[in-house]
Structure 1
């Protein structure tokens, strides 16, 4: 079999050109890709493949050996060091023909190695052994960063749960005394998202949540990022107990609003907005209390500020939170008092994404239907003047979900009586309008 390696040599003395074809031995070729193997491994069926190719074969739910078609009961892949050395020697021998030597591959960690690491992490946490736990955490982080196979093996064999348990143990003992190991554990967990249930149970404890909020207050930028991203991951699981526990920690709402206002890093800003959304949109009994708290902290004005000039992801998050805050009277009042509210909501319809359009229409609908009659009229008139009628009509024509379709249809009916009195526009630029905040 001939590979595409071909080196053309110039003979200056004879003035002729010579083509050299490099023939790769068949037993160096992977039976799946028919390319030369870089990391040959042998299955229980006795057939050798390139590790990357055979892993992809099994990832798509194949359970047979590609060559023999036998059912593979043991998926362990044994490195074929002898064959790999032969391939490397052959590459060196053919270096003058343009063949590059394949590097010696790193051997991936096994599930047995991970099991041993998990046992050691749990033992060091029980003994509050900071030094020992730090060494193990550093080893896990290094293995995760070396290759995706290591990361997958570590995640699937219980390491996140063990690390989260250790985090809870050290946080229960003392945050200040164990701050170094706690921060490193949180950093390692950030490499292992999405987390499984066992890890989230430990991270949702009062001690763990208090520790992460402490990091938001006292740690540097990196520590703040790791903490708020972990909180976002934890609340994404949808457990109302975690929402309630976080909402009870003093100062957390003020910190989140501060991060949104200051925008000290894109990661912190986006994660903070997602955490806020989980807090205000949950079905727990603390949801309305959270909405009121964030309204009183001035979040409505902050969200409108974000809507003026921000990229898609931030706009979507800001609109989602604003839509939720419009469910309470105090949130709507803040919206009514800002002259940019309705024009900005109309502007985002069909300009950002389908999700942003849905939240914009829903917010306008809530400000009309859930407010006083005078507020309803003012919102409808402002929306008409900003070109909402044509935009909402187009949304219905393009297609949308049943809930938004119902709200959009009702808004058109409410707007229709005022259309004859007004001059409607199609779209506007609101950058030069005076802000009320």
Structure 2
């Protein structure tokens, strides 16, 4: 009762006056009727909706209240009875909306703009009917009907974030992934190029919609990885599709590779793996957008981590020098993923050999220490440790001199002082012990890396 009384008192006070600034410095005090204000935000309602309790709120405010886990009416404290989210109780109050619009028109000379008529959000019933129709059309191979339904769903999702949440919450990702699997199985075949050409657009649209629903749930991932046709179809789009299709295929493949359960399924499909290596490399070598580059790096990292013989396959594509050149000038996210791929690829003999003989390796790795993020530093220390271990096995002291000359010793000391994970700490300690033996030969501090450090004197 006290909470309700305070709310009403605040509403009465807020409803007395509001200040609207006109074109110049002139201020006009304008009284807004209390029943035009949302009881939650106390602002003029743009899309008034009424609950079963009879209280009217602005849709955005009451949906935020419900999304926060509340299941009661904010004013009356009565429970919301309809559905698990209470969203079905939000009934548009057209009478109040028209009254507000009329009030805005009457006061337009005071600088008040008329609120636009809101679009009715998509309902759960409409979403379920749409998904059922997509499943039926895909099963019957009705590509035209599939195309119309996918366009309708895409338009609904683009209309508002609220519609997008409603579509995703009703299992759209799983239905679309199932439809993709059905269409790919029925049409993606070297012996039926004409059939695939007809269904290609629908398959592209499904991938585009799935990219809007990330992260994908387990069911949708299961459908995408359930058959060789689906996997190879995605690989085809990754290699031969236009720019949006390649991007969306890269995102879908990354979703599968990031899940250990579905990654194991992928590893058993050798033809799919063979068709992935070159397209993933080309998306990094000739990037089409930052999103596809990051997705490709993540997929490569997961693939090499799961199947070690793939490391040498990626080495043969030219991945080692490409990653080093990319790391010279890249943003935080790309740098983290690039360092992860580099640390993974130099675990094979061919990879460490190329890295050892590349002039960029030591400078780039040392440069990234303590400059990007904790994760990037972890990968850089690990890669430096592998590089120096390889030099120790070769009994080649030149690599240690090179690492010292670019300021590794000082950065590693600073890293231990700042703090890091246990594995990184152990590798940094080993590196310092190795490098300390060669400090008399050459040492050079790159002062730019320490310009922001405060001196103790």
Task: Compute the TM-score of the two structures, normalised by the length of structure 2.
Answer: 0.86
For this pair of structures, how many residues does the alignment match? 419
Shift, 1:421, TM fit:
2.6
What pairs up with 1:162-181 in 2 under 5 angstroms?
Answer: 162-175=175-188, 176=196, 177-181=198-202
Q: Tell me the residue number matched to 2:427.
A: 407
Shift, 1:92, TM fit:
1.6
Shift, 1:182, TM fit:
0.6
| Secondary structure at 2:57 match in 1 | strand
| Secondary structure at 1:421 match in 2 | coil
What pairs up with 1:122-161 in 2 under 5 angstroms?
Answer: 122-161=135-174
Distance 2:392 2:429 in 1: 20
The 1:311–1:127 alpha-carbon spacing in structure 2 relative to 1, beyond 3 Å, is same
What is the aligned counterpart of 2:305 among 262, 281, 284? 281
Distance 1:8 1:222 in 2: 45
Q: Which ranges of structure 2 fall in alignment gaps of 5 or more residues? A: 1-14, 189-195, 450-457
Match status 1:323 vs 2:343: yes
Shift, 1:246, TM fit:
6.1
Contact in 2 for aligned 1:2/1:21 (Cα 8 Å) = no
The 1:259–1:303 alpha-carbon spacing in structure 2 relative to 1, beyond 3 Å, is same
Contact in 1 for aligned 2:404/2:444 (Cα 8 Å) = yes
Q: Tell me the residue number matched to 1:302.
A: 322
Q: Tell me the residue number matched to 2:276.
A: 252
RMSD: 2.3
What is the aligned counterpart of 2:210 among 182, 186, 189? 189
Shift, 1:36, TM fit:
1.4
Distance 2:382 2:396 in 1: 14
Contact in 2 for aligned 1:243/1:279 (Cα 8 Å) = no
Shift, 1:71, TM fit:
2.2
Contact in 1 for aligned 2:391/2:399 (Cα 8 Å) = no
Q: Tell me the residue number matched to 1:230.
A: 252
Shift, 1:138, TM fit:
0.3
Shift, 1:371, TM fit:
6.3
Contact in 2 for aligned 1:347/1:428 (Cα 8 Å) = no
Higher helix proportion, which one? 2
Contact in 2 for aligned 1:342/1:383 (Cα 8 Å) = yes
Distance 2:111 2:230 in 1: 56
Distance 2:395 2:289 in 1: 37
Shift, 1:380, TM fit:
2.5
Q: Tell me the residue number matched to 2:7.
A: none
Distance 2:32 2:322 in 1: 64
Distance 1:174 1:29 in 2: 56
Q: Which moved more, 1:289-298 or 1:231-240?
A: 231-240
Contact in 2 for aligned 1:367/1:376 (Cα 8 Å) = no
The 1:375–1:355 alpha-carbon spacing in structure 2 relative to 1, beyond 3 Å, is farther
Q: Which moved more, 1:110-119 or 1:379-388?
A: 379-388
Distance 2:240 2:207 in 1: 15
Task: Compute the TM-score of the two structures, normalised by the length of structure 1.
Answer: 0.90
Please list every run of at least 4 consecutive aligned residues from structure 1 whose deviation after the TM superposition is greater than 4 angstroms.
5-10
Distance 2:315 2:53 in 1: 65
Shift, 1:241, TM fit:
2.4
What is the aligned counterpart of 1:35 among 21, 31, 43? 43
Q: Tell me the residue number matched to 2:360.
A: 340
| Secondary structure at 1:420 match in 2 | coil
Q: Deviations over 1:315-351 (max 9, x none)?
A: 2221110101122222111111212212221121122
Contact in 1 for aligned 2:137/2:145 (Cα 8 Å) = yes
Q: Deviations over 1:122-150 (max 9, x none)?
A: 10011011011111100000000000000
Distance 1:187 1:412 in 2: 49
What is the aligned counterpart of 1:199 among 205, 216, 220? 220
Q: Which moved more, 1:113-122 or 1:246-255?
A: 246-255
Shift, 1:280, TM fit:
1.1
Q: Deviations over 1:338-385 (max 9, x none)?
A: 122122211211222222211111011122336652266443332112
Distance 1:263 1:320 in 2: 18
Q: Deviations over 1:232-273 (max 9, x none)?
A: 123223323244156642331011112211224333322211
Q: Which ranges of structure 1 fall in alignment gaps of 5 or more residues? A: 11-17, 430-437
Distance 2:149 2:133 in 1: 8
